[in-house]
Chain A
Amino acid sequence: MFARTPAGERPDRPFTGYKLARAVLSADGTRAGFAGLTLGADQVYGAVDDAACVWNTRHAPPRKWCGCGFYCLHALADAQALGCATEHRSALLVEVRASGRYIRYERGLRYSRQRVRAIRESHCECGRAGTMLADAGTGVIGWRHLAPVCGHCAAGRAPILTLAEFAARTGGSIKVADSADPGSPIRSSLDERPLPEGAGESPIAVLSAEIALLHARLDDIQARLDG
């Protein structure tokens, strides 16, 4: 038998949390927003927004036996760790205020209302800090996904928005935190490091080259066996 957890909390101010989100830009380029990474990947939300359940519009998120609602983590370090995953590398790490109805977990919250307060971190695929946002080449109806890029990798990519320009298009009061600023000491030291050979190349291109080499070797072995 399990002990019952306390319920019915009434904090006097919203929670601060951290999460990863994809940056999106409207088709006409005038509005910006965010999209979730997995369950909420098709749902675009603004700087201030209310959660909606994608499966059942008859209940209000977060429903206990449903996965709906906004999510965030209590600790910045946990969000940074999540951002290391390959599939999350192009996401922005944002700081949010979580409010409304909520369910509190050990490491984070599921909740109904959210204010995105700051963009804390973004990373270019080459490893440098992302200072701008470029078309990621994917999207959902009406919205293009944006991916962070550094000044070196931004050339020739469009549309390009600085993080501040992106924040302004969300219609909210989102700040670009110092840690996302390339002038910050940590970022500067990271950016000054020489990149390893091949860094910045598309991982798909690298994999394709490896596969082509493997095929060539297999063909060579087959030819020897046939001979």
Chain B
Amino acid sequence: MRLGKVQASGYVADVADETVVSETGASETAAEITKTVAAAPEAVAADREQASVSG
């Protein structure tokens, strides 16, 4: 199974969020930000990178 083509890359901080996610998949609240490791978003140079589901 493939994830398809690369759309973008970036960085998002981890959030300790105790909210149960609704059936739509949307989280309701964002609580304490626990991890703010600065990491530059990885540039995406190609459009056709594929990835398979593994880990």
A139 touches B (CB below 8 Å): no
Report the bound CA distance from A98 to B21 in whole Å.
13
Q: For chain B residues 4-55, which have a beta carbon within 8 Å of chain A?
A: 4-18, 20-21, 25-27, 30, 35, 37, 39, 41-55
Contact with B along A87-130 (1 / 0, CB 8 A): 00000000101111111111111101101011000000000000
A interface residue count range (under 10 / 10 to 19 / 20 to 34 / 35 or more): 35 or more
Report the bound CA distance from A98 to B17 in whole Å.
12
- Whether the Cβ atoms of B1 and A9 lie closer than 8 Å is no
- Whether the Cβ atoms of B3 and A64 lie closer than 8 Å is no
- Whether the Cβ atoms of A10 and B6 lie closer than 8 Å is no
Distance in Å: Cβ of B37 to nearest Cβ of chain A:
7
Contacts of B9 in A (CB 8 A): 7-9, 64, 101-104
- Whether the Cβ atoms of B3 and A14 lie closer than 8 Å is no
A107-B3, A108-B3 known; A113+B46 contact, CB < 8 A:
no
CB nearest neighbor in A for B49: A64
Report the bound CA distance from A11 to B1 in whole Å.
26
Contacts of B35 in A (CB 8 A): 99-100, 113
Distance in Å: Cβ of B50 to nearest Cβ of chain A:
8
- Whether the Cβ atoms of A100 and B4 lie closer than 8 Å is no
A99-B12, A99-B35, A104-B8 known; A64+B26 contact, CB < 8 A:
no
A2-B48, A99-B15, A101-B11 known; A51+B55 contact, CB < 8 A:
yes
A71-B55, A73-B3, A73-B53 known; A100+B14 contact, CB < 8 A:
yes
- Whether the Cβ atoms of A14 and B14 lie closer than 8 Å is yes
Contacts of A188 in B (CB 8 A): none
Contact with B along A124-138 (1 / 0, CB 8 A): 000000000000000
CB nearest neighbor in A for B21: A16
- Whether the Cβ atoms of B3 and A10 lie closer than 8 Å is no
Report the bound CA distance from A202 to B46 in whole Å.
46
Contacts of A105 in B (CB 8 A): 3-7, 50-51
Distance in Å: Cβ of A91 to nearest Cβ of chain B:
11
Q: 13 interchain pairs (CB within 8 A)?
A: A5-B8, A10-B10, A14-B27, A16-B21, A19-B53, A43-B55, A64-B45, A97-B15, A99-B14, A103-B44, A106-B7, A107-B2, A173-B18
